[in-house]
Amino acid sequence: MTGYGRAELSKRGMSVSAEVRSVNSRYLEVTSRLPRTLSHREKDVKEIVRSFLSRGSLNITVKIEKESNGETPLKVNTSAVKSYYKLLNELRKTVKLREKVKLEHLLNFSEILEPIDAEETDTKEWELVDETIREALKQLNTMRVNEGRELAKDFVKRIQWIDKTLNEIERLSVERIPTERKRLQERIAQLLEDKSIIDQNRLELEIALLADKLDITEECVRYRTHNKFFLEAIKTEETPGRKLNFLIQEMNREANTIGSKANEAAIAHLVVKIKEELERIREQLQNIE
């Protein structure tokens, strides 16, 4: 389901903003853009998302701003500087260079400067980032819930229309029986010149069998049961997406059976309309968890 959430929190001289965008997906896919200092936290971000969502393709962007207060947040890594200086001198002697090792050479190695209390800083940053992402996800879920309510209203209308259409299909099916009886009698009469030799008992049996083949009561009853479960799942379950998808598949199967058994143009036309509605519902169900 599509959605958008944004949050911004400030604590201890740090300001963190998190922006979350979601689009439809059958699975949960998370892409995060974090500051370089927190790039190793991508897995943690995915775990946070899983506690809020089970489906959707999410894009999360996090930005951090710090108040410097005139202080440099870096310090010299003395051991790293000495090691690189020694290695560069060895390299200079190996290739027989006269040029001495200078500060500009050492500054090419990023490890000689490191954040002050890096571990503590990382922990504080992450705590605030964690809180901010969760707040943005709450806003995202609020938007998704509102959209879900509108989708539920649409589903109810379509299911109710399908119920009415099933009533019309059953009416047409019942009315067909006398018509088919008369048609069968006329066809037999055309084949036999002597009508007196027609076995009325056998004729009634054939008509009974034909009526049984044309009877779609069982399929309509099952279909209405699926409709009932569909509406109940929308109202009572928090994450009905998978169940609703299964019910739509069963509805489609019953519609196919009704169309093949009825074998009548008017009924077939209504079945096509039902399947069109099912396809519209199925497309929207990709938005539901």
Per-residue pLDDT band at 131 (split at 50, 70, 90): very high
Q: What is the residue-averaged pLDDT of the chain?
A: 83
Residue 128 lies in a domain: yes
Please tell me whether residues 173 and 260 are part of one structural domain: yes
Please tell me whether residues 127 and 47 are part of one structural domain: yes
Return d(Cα 47, Cα 264) in angstroms, integer.
54
Please tell me whether residues 106 and 237 are part of one structural domain: no
Please tell me whether residues 16 and 90 are part of one structural domain: no
Please tell me whether residues 230 and 106 are part of one structural domain: no
Q: How many domains does the structure of the chain reveal?
A: 3
Query: What letter would DSSP give residue 41?
Result: G
Residue 209 lies in a domain: no
Query: What letter would DSSP give residue 104?
Result: H
Dihedral over Cα of 38, 43, 44, 48: its sign: positive
CA 23-26-27 angle, 5° bins: 90
Query: What letter would DSSP give residue 54?
Result: S
Return d(Cα 209, Cα 230) in angstroms, integer.
34
Per-residue pLDDT band at 158 (split at 50, 70, 90): very high
Question: What is the reported pLDDT for 37?
Answer: 80
Residue 186 lies in a domain: no
Q: What is the pLDDT of residues 203-243, one digit of tens each?
A: 666 666 666 666 788 888 999 999 999 999 888 877 788 88
Return d(Cα 15, Cα 11) in angstroms, integer.
7
Please tell me whether residues 50 and 27 are part of one structural domain: yes
Please tell me whether residues 233 and 261 are part of one structural domain: yes
Please tell me whether residues 8 and 55 are part of one structural domain: yes
Structure tokens at 169: 């299909």
What percentage of residues in the chain have a pLDDT greater than 70? 83
Question: What is the reported pLDDT for 88?
Answer: 87
Q: Show the domain range for 243.
A: 150-179+214-285
What does the DSSP assignment read for 185-209?
HHHHHHH-S-GGG--HHHHHHHHHH
- Residue of higher predicted confidence among 105 and 32: 32
Q: For the whole prediction, is pTM greater than 0.85?
A: no
- Residue of higher predicted confidence among 274 and 181: 274
Residue 129 has pLDDT above 80, yes or no: yes
- Residue 112, judged by CB atoms within 10 A of its CB (0-12, 13-18, 19+), counts as buried
Residue 49 lies in a domain: yes
3-state secondary structure at position 19: strand
What average pLDDT does this structure show over 3-8?
A: 92
- Residue of higher predicted confidence among 273 and 182: 273
Please tell me whether residues 18 and 37 are part of one structural domain: yes
Per-residue pLDDT band at 70 (split at 50, 70, 90): very low
Question: What is the reported pLDDT for 198?
Answer: 59
Residue 78 has pLDDT above 90, yes or no: no
CA 120-121-123 angle, 5° bins: 65
Please tell me whether residues 21 and 123 are part of one structural domain: yes
Return d(Cα 22, Cα 24) in angstroms, integer.
7
pLDDT-wise least confident of 13-17, 51-55, 131-135, 262-266: 262-266
What average pLDDT does this structure show over 75-102?
A: 86
Please tell me whether residues 15 and 44 are part of one structural domain: yes
> Which residue's entry shows tokens 């083949």?
213
Query: What letter would DSSP give residue 189?
Result: H
Counting every residue written for the chain, the total comes to 289
Structure tokens at 88: 């560069």
Residues 6+ positions from 240 with CB-CB distance below 8 Å: 233, 234, 288, 289
Question: What is the reported pLDDT for 185?
Answer: 66
Please tell me whether residues 63 and 139 are part of one structural domain: yes
